[in-house]
Structure 1
Amino acid sequence: MRKLITLSHKEQWIAYVKNSVEYDFYHTWHYHTLDQSGDPVLFVYEEGNNYIALPLLKRKISDSSFSDLGSVYGYTGPISNRKFEDLEESLMDNFKSSFLDFLDKEHNISVFSRLHPFFNQYLLIEKFGGVYKNGKTVAIDLTIPLEQQRKKYRKSTYQYIKKAWHNGYSVKETKDLEDISVFFDIYTENMRRIEAGDYYFFNKQYFIDLISTDEFDCRLILVYAGDKIICGSIITCTCGIIEAHLVATLTKYLHKSPAKFLTDEISILGRKLGMKYYHLGGGLGFKEDTLFNWKAGFSDLFLEYKSWRYVANERIYNSLVDRIGIDPNNKIDYFPLYRCHFVPVNNTVLQY
């Protein structure tokens, strides 16, 4: 049996997530209410006492009668009341059949979902095809002693942390609206400085709603130099995993790298909260760039990050790509390609 749960069915959505053996805050009802890029739905397939659920965003494809399915910012993918490695082949095959029927009847042309690096969701998704290896993410193992963790730090990383101790930096957890406002300004300043895309910008209400939720554990941790806020991070704690959701530093203090001190402090907090891992994430676009290298200065625990890029109707997909002047076989790392805001000209990529 299958069902499609929307945001209007709050209690059902929450129950399926909470009863899953592995999930993250990215799967929750509240987090999906914060996304304005599509209509959130939770696809559920059930057999007896077992289920597989997949949160998605349904998006209309402009100037057509079709739609597609995407995912919220962060790591989602399917969840279940059992680990994927323990699911029967028949249950996974029946989920596939039901989901493909749903795609066809709802005229959904493609599906994009960011899979969670800690969960073996690929065991289910590889039955469809379209599992794409994006790169690596970095995590800190909180199950080992703190001093052992610190031995894994790059020498320069640890030096910045020690300088922060010497300078008397301190951390504070807060839900105060004024503090949230200050962090919002620092984060927005950071995104403008690095010329981030619109995808990485959020309004102030997003920050307030995220931090004030009672559906999952979300905290704003700030770094102070004296009485001045110079750095901060919004973290979540779910099923033994801390996610470094948003991190930002006041431009004037970037050369002191207080975020390194903050990362170390959050790892201490995580142990107190009984967390097992502190997930720092990957590089920009999940490339092994300077951001990835910064995170790799804390840990040698690297995880494979995969996404699901599935074309349900190849004929319609190719026609949608063709109408914006892109060759469907182009190697642009973007999916679905018909939503790409870049077109290749003379082997270069120009924004339009």
Structure 2
Amino acid sequence: MRVVVSADIGEWNRQLARCGRFDVYHLAEYHRTAEKLGEGEALLLVFEAEGEVAALPLLRRPLWTLSGLEDVRLYDAASAYGYPGLLCSCDIDSPAAERFRREFQESLDEALRSLEIVSFFGRQHPLIDTAWLWGDAYAPLGPTVAIDLTRSEQSQWSEMRSNHRRDIRRAEREGVVVVEDTTLRRLDEFRRIYEETMRTVGAASQYFFSEAYYRSLRENLGRRIKLFFAEYEGRPVAAAMFFLCGRIIQYHLGGTDELGRDRLRSPIKAIFDHVRRWGKAADYHWLHLGGGLGARRDSLYRFKAGFTKNEFTFGVVRKIVDAAAYRELVAKRCGKTEGDCEEGYFPAYRRPINALRAA
């Protein structure tokens, strides 16, 4: 298995192309953003066999940055934010699929051990199904939705929930207009609206991003970013950021301010409708809206599902590479067993130690 670093952008992205389908979250440029913000060392692991190829992007993270593990000289790995899951050119129905899967897993274990990685947490891409390569390490979490832009305009519109259609028409009547910031100079305005929305819904800290994050996205992804605002009487009342890659439009972040929520009935719907129509005209195949917070069927998911009935599964990978080292890390940081760390978290040693034990 080969290891490609993010500085080698051309080689990294060439290996993605060999896999067939990929998205913006797989790109070297996207991983350079995560790397620049100190989230880990970006690596692409590339496996080849029987004329087929698999590629796994990840962030290698030092464990000695965690309290209680300062003397540990090991790493773990995780996906960057979004859906940068495993890619593969081999089809599950191929006669060579099972042999490819087995050899991939053996090679991956060897590569992760050589990189001194104890565990890996991965986020699979809902539109690119490679879960079969992971076996028991894969677990489905919840649904996401995507609009099929290859369908006719009438078909897309009729599939939309009636209240969404009504609110889009109402926004147009009331003078809401959708404008694109082609220069990305309004990122501060976007961030204000987005963070207001996250505070309103009680989002966890992981959904808030620094100024450096947005600046790095602009520097690394520039032409792949589409930034739209819904404006009412010259004031921005909703905003949304999208990524472009191949035939996929990926909704990344967005929000609506207080006026938009209370007076205009969620004008971000007008943005989604605008991008849907623009994407079809530009020959994109999917507008992926994502799912709810934490992959739950919450109000955010229900809002997105009002645009389409096309549902996909978002899943994660939880892989322990070195079981003995993993147990030692859990004991060292959390107590004698994994149960002393808060439940439902992987890897367990990265979960904040519960208040009872801390006291």
**Which segments of 5 or more consecutive residues in structure 2 lack a partner in the other structure?**
none
* Farther off after superposition, 34-43 or 250-259: 250-259
Residue of structure 1 equivalent to 2:284: 275
Q: Which amino acid aligns with 1:324?
A: C
What is the percent sequence identity of the aligned residues? 28
Alignment of 1:81-100 (within 5 A): 81-83=89-91, 85-86=93-94, 88-100=97-109
Between the aligned partners of 2:73 and 2:80, the Cα distance in structure 1 is 23
Matched, 1:47 2:52: no
Cα pair 2:180 2:227 within 8 Å, conserved: yes
Residue of structure 1 equivalent to 2:75: 67
Matched, 1:122 2:121: no
Residue of structure 1 equivalent to 2:12: 13
Alignment of 1:167-246 (within 5 A): 167-211=174-218, 213=220, 217-246=224-253
Q: Which amino acid aligns with 2:267?
A: P
Residue of structure 1 equivalent to 2:60: 58
CA spacing shift, 1:178–1:351, aligned 2, 3 Å: farther
Cα pair 2:225 2:244 within 8 Å, conserved: yes
Give SS of 1:34's match.
helix
Residue of structure 2 equivalent to 1:145: 152
Residue of structure 2 equivalent to 1:33: 32
Cα pair 1:5 1:43 within 8 Å, conserved: yes
Q: Which amino acid aligns with 1:70?
A: A
Between the aligned partners of 2:174 and 2:353, the Cα distance in structure 1 is 46
Matched, 1:319 2:328: yes
Cα pair 1:216 1:238 within 8 Å, conserved: no
Q: What is the Cα deviation at residue 268 of structure 1?
A: 0.5
* Farther off after superposition, 212-221 or 201-210: 212-221
Residue of structure 2 equivalent to 1:22: 21
Matched, 1:287 2:289: no
TM-score by length of 1: 0.90
Q: What is the Cα deviation at residue 196 of structure 1?
A: 2.7
Q: What is the Cα deviation at residue 269 of structure 1?
A: 1.0
Between the aligned partners of 2:184 and 2:285, the Cα distance in structure 1 is 30
Note the alpha carbon deviations across 1:206-234, whole angstroms, 9 max, x for none: 32442454686221111111321111111
Cα pair 1:85 1:120 within 8 Å, conserved: no
Between the aligned partners of 1:217 and 1:178, the Cα distance in structure 2 is 15
Q: What is the Cα deviation at residue 331 of structure 1?
A: 8.1
Cα pair 1:175 1:212 within 8 Å, conserved: no
Between the aligned partners of 2:358 and 2:123, the Cα distance in structure 1 is 24
Q: What is the Cα deviation at residue 44 of structure 1?
A: 1.1
How many correspondences in the alignment? 345
Between the aligned partners of 1:175 and 1:100, the Cα distance in structure 2 is 44
Between the aligned partners of 1:257 and 1:32, the Cα distance in structure 2 is 32
Q: What is the Cα deviation at residue 245 of structure 1?
A: 0.5
Matched, 1:298 2:304: no
Cα pair 1:217 1:237 within 8 Å, conserved: yes
**Among candidates 344, 350, 356, match of residue 333 of structure 1:** 344
Q: Which amino acid aligns with 1:313?
A: D
CA spacing shift, 1:43–1:146, aligned 2, 3 Å: same
